[in-house]
Copies of this chain bind each other. A is one copy, B any other.
Amino acid sequence: MGKASVTIKEIARELNVSKSTVSRALRDSSEISEETKQRVLELARQLNYSPNPIALSLLKNRTHTIGIIVPDIANAFFSSAIAGVEDVAYSRGYHVMIYQSHESYERELIDARHIATRRADGLVVSLASSSERYDHFRELQEQDIPVVFFDRVTDAITTHKVLVDDYKGAFEATEHLIQRGCQRIAHIAGPPKLSISRNRFNGYKDAMDKYGIAMRDEWVVSSEYNQAGGTERAYQLMALRERPDAIFAASDRIALGVHWALRQLGYRMPADVALIGFSDLAISSLLDPPLSSVAQPSFEIGQQAAELLLELIESRNTPVSFETRVLKTKLMIRKSSMKEIS
């Protein structure tokens, strides 16, 4: 009927010593005789004692838990990043508590507050697409709960950040399309509130500029980072009088929607329309034609974010200089963008 877990008190009673002695013996304190230590250790092992982390938390005000807020767990990019966070957290004795913002600012705010009341030791977060206020993160920082951003970051909060060079990745993707002879290159951008959306757009724009290719307003549209948005925008773009001959989608999820739409509409990729996405989800290479994409090391991003966070947590009160780690993207060229050069 539920054997209550053994406490230090029981060991003490059993051995006719005080709780303090037991505690010290377990921590191998020098002021306990070798003999007593042995007796305590032996009994503790025998009773399968393990210290109650909740009591410790109360005492030390440290929970050994870190929170992570992502827009959507089921998104492969995020679940992979979570796996990265979990990887280093686990190896350092921390546990990961998951929260989803569902792309909603309100939910993100509630999640952040929850993390504060729950006394997590820190937070790793990737912003919701609708967030434009960031005070909830500042509140956490003021309560000595460090925050580290990854991927979807903001300049409004000074802290560690981990992301990829979105600008450069987008630039290279666009440049690649241009080099394959595409002239009418459309861009489906992400929600403009997110810096990754803006940076990717800028990469696109500057590549177009560099090669002196005209950008048309109607060829630049915006969508949430999901498949439905991609499909919708693809229909919209292909309905234009002047159709694009290439589409650079700000994410693979958008690109998946475009891919589907183009097939529905009977376009051939890349002959009619070249397509390239961003993130290189595992599925992208399985599509037919396989989708070109700008690869992001999602697992590694999670790992590094967790490392930086743990660093902040474990060096509390010692001021550090915050860094922004910019990881490399890698252009994965596949059939969807390999237009024959005429």
Q: Measuring CB to CB, which residues of chain A are less than 8 angstroms from any residue of chain B? A: 1-3, 5, 50, 52-55, 57-58, 63, 65, 72-74, 76, 79-80, 82-83, 86, 95-98, 100, 114, 117-119, 142-144, 227, 256, 259-260, 263, 282-283, 286-289, 317
The answer to whether B74 touches A83 (Cβ under 8 A) is yes
Q: Would you call B74 and A86 a contact (CB within 8 A)? A: no
Interface contact A117-B287, CB-CB below 8 Å: no
Cα A227 to Cα B79 with chains together (Å): 18
CA distance A8 to B121 in the complex (A): 22
With A and B bound together, what is the CA distance between A317 and B1 in angstroms?
8
A74 touches B63 (CB 8 A): no
Question: In the assembled complex, which residues on chain B have CB atoms less than 8 Å from the CB atom of A117?
Answer: 50, 53
Closest Cβ–Cβ distance, residue A243 to chain B (whole Å): 22
Question: In whole angstroms, how far apart are the Cα atoms of A256 and B260 in the complex?
Answer: 18
Q: Which residue of B lies closest to A118 (CB)?
A: B53
- Cβ-defined contact, A73 with B63, below 8 A: no
A55 to B143, CA, bound (A): 18
User: Known: A5-B143, A118-B95. Is A86-B58 also a contact (CB below 8 A)?
Assistant: no
Minimum CB–CB distance from A142 to chain B (whole Å) comes to 6
Question: A119 CA to B64 CA in the complex, in Å?
Answer: 13
CB distance from A112 to the nearest CB of B (A): 13
Task: For the complex formed, measure the closest distance between the CB of A48 and the CB atoms of chain B, giving whole angstroms.
Answer: 10
Q: Shortest beta-carbon distance, A265 to chain B, in Å? A: 15
CB distance from A82 to the nearest CB of B (A): 6
Q: Is the CB of B142 within 8 A of A3?
A: yes
